[in-house]
Amino acid sequence: MEFRLSAEQELFKRMVREFCEKNIEPRSREMDDKEEGIPDELIQGLADLGVFGIMIPEKYGGSAPEGEEMTYANIAIQELGRAEMSMALPVYTLLCLGWGFLITKYGTEQLKEEVLPRVAAGEYFVGIATTEPGGGSDIANIQTSGVHKDGKFTVNGEKVYISGVLESIKQREGGHITLIRTDPDAGHRGFTFIFIPAKLPGVSYSTFEDIGRMALSTGGLVYKDVEVPEYYLLGEVNRGFYLNMEGFNLARILVSSACVGMTEKALEISRDYVKQRVLFGRPLAKFEGISFEIADDHAKLEQIKLYLQYTAWAADTLYKEPDFITQRELSRMVSICKMTAPKLGAEITQRCMTHLGAFSYTKDCPLGRGLRGILSYVVGAEGGYHIQKLIIAREFIGDEAVPYR
C-alpha cells in the first residue's frame, strides 16, 4: 500500500477542492437557510468534474479509475465535507456513488443503461430504502413485501427516514435501492434488493423536519401495489441481505469520509481563530488549556483519517482480489470508521465551538451547521453507533458475542 496519493489522485483532489472553495463553500449557509434543496448548478458542476462518475464505468458515461473507485470517492467526499459542513451535499453525493456502484456491480444490463449514465451526468439520484417503522438495524422486522410473478415484483409496504425523497420525486428524478421480503419463511435468506424509481405508480411520500442537513430531504415512502419490472432486480432473488451488507460497507466508508472532512474544517476554523483572537494581552493559542485540546483533537482526527484511507484501499483491493479479505472482515474495518468518525467529529466540533465562544452560536459561523449535520450519523443514519460496536465484537470476538444467536 502506498500511503501518499498518486499524482493523478492529488490532481483530482486539487480540482475538487478548488471547485468547492469557489462554488460550494460560499453558498453553504444559503442552502441551510432556504431549505430549497441543493442548487442544480452545484450538482452539474460536480458532474462536469467527473465526481458523480468516479464509481461508474466509462461504458455508462462514467470515469471510474478501475480498481481505485473507493479511494477516489473518499477523496471527493472529504473535500465536499470540508466545503459544505451541514453535510447535505456530501451525503447526496455519497449515496449516488456508493449505491450506484451496487447497480454497476449487480444490476441488469437494462437497469445499468437506464440509470447509470444519468447518475454520472448529475441528473438522477440513487438512494437506499431499508429502514421501516418496525425495523432498520433489526432486519428481521422488515415487512415490506414483494411478490415475484409474471415478469414483475408487486411491492407493498412502508419505508421511513429515507434520504433523498424530494430529490427523487420533485426536485429531480431518481429512485431507491429497496430491501423487500420475497420469502416470509426464509429469515434473512428471504430478502431481495430491487431498484424502485420514485415516480412509479403506487409510490407516495411524506417528509420529516430534520434539525440538520437542511438542503437534503428526509422522509417516508409508501408502496401500494407498486409493479416493478423484474429488470430492476439487483443480483438474485432472496440474496438481498448479502448485497445490503455489501452496500452499507461502501456507504459507511463514505459517510465517515464526509465526517472526517467536516471535522478537519472545524479544527482549521478553531486553529485560525485562536491564533488571532487576543485575550488578556495574548492570543488564545498561547493558553495551553486551548492549544493542547486542539493538539489532542488533531492527533485523534489524523488517526481515523489514515485508517479510513486504509479501509477505502482495502475495499478497492477486495474488488480486484476477491481472496484478499471477506465482506465480513471488511465490515469490521468499516464499522471502526463509522463508529469513530461521526462521534469524534461531533465531540471535536463542540470543543471548537467553545474556542470561538459566542460567535460559534450564530449562523454566521458554520460550526453549528456542521454539528447539526454530523449528529445524523451519530444517532443512527447508515447504521447506529451501537450497531457498529456489535459488528466489531462479532468479527473480533466471534459469533458468541452476538446477542441474537
pLDDT in tens, 267-289: 999 999 999 999 999 999 999 99
Looking at the structure, do residues 384 and 353 belong to the same domain, yes or no? yes
pLDDT in tens, 321-333: 999 999 999 999 9
Q: Higher pLDDT residue, 22 or 404?
A: 22
User: Is residue 270 helix, strand or coil?
Assistant: helix
Looking at the structure, do residues 258 and 359 belong to the same domain, yes or no? yes
What whole-number distance in Å separates Cα of residue 129 and Cα of residue 142? 11
Region 207-213 average pLDDT:
93
Strand 191-197 vs strand 173-181: parallel, antiparallel, or unpaired? antiparallel
What whole-number distance in Å separates Cα of residue 101 and Cα of residue 61? 13
DSSP 88-141: HHHHHHHHHHHHHHHHHHHB-HHHHHHHHHHHHTT-EEEEEE--BTTBSS-GGG
User: Is residue 64 helix, strand or coil?
Assistant: coil
* Domain region containing 273: 240-401
Model confidence band, residue 141 (pLDDT cutoffs 50, 70, 90): confident
| CATH code of the domain containing 189 | 2.40.110.10
Say which residues have a Cβ less than 8 Å from residue 53's Cβ, sequence separation at least 6: 47, 61, 62, 63, 64, 119, 120
| CATH code of the domain containing 26 | 1.10.540.10
Among 169-178, 293-302, 337-346, name the one with the lowest average pLDDT: 169-178
Looking at the structure, do residues 198 and 258 belong to the same domain, yes or no? no
Looking at the structure, do residues 312 and 323 belong to the same domain, yes or no? yes
Looking at the structure, do residues 86 and 160 belong to the same domain, yes or no? no
Closest CA to 380 of 177, 157, 218: 218
Helical ranges in 233-287 per DSSP H: 240-276
Strand 191-197 vs strand 233-234: parallel, antiparallel, or unpaired? antiparallel
Model confidence band, residue 375 (pLDDT cutoffs 50, 70, 90): very high
From 64, 94, 125, give the residue that closes a domain: 125
Looking at the structure, do residues 333 and 195 belong to the same domain, yes or no? no
Torsion-angle region of 380 (φ positive above 0: left; ψ -120 to 50: alpha; else: beta): left
Looking at the structure, do residues 286 and 385 belong to the same domain, yes or no? yes
Per the structure, how many domains does the chain have? Answer: 3
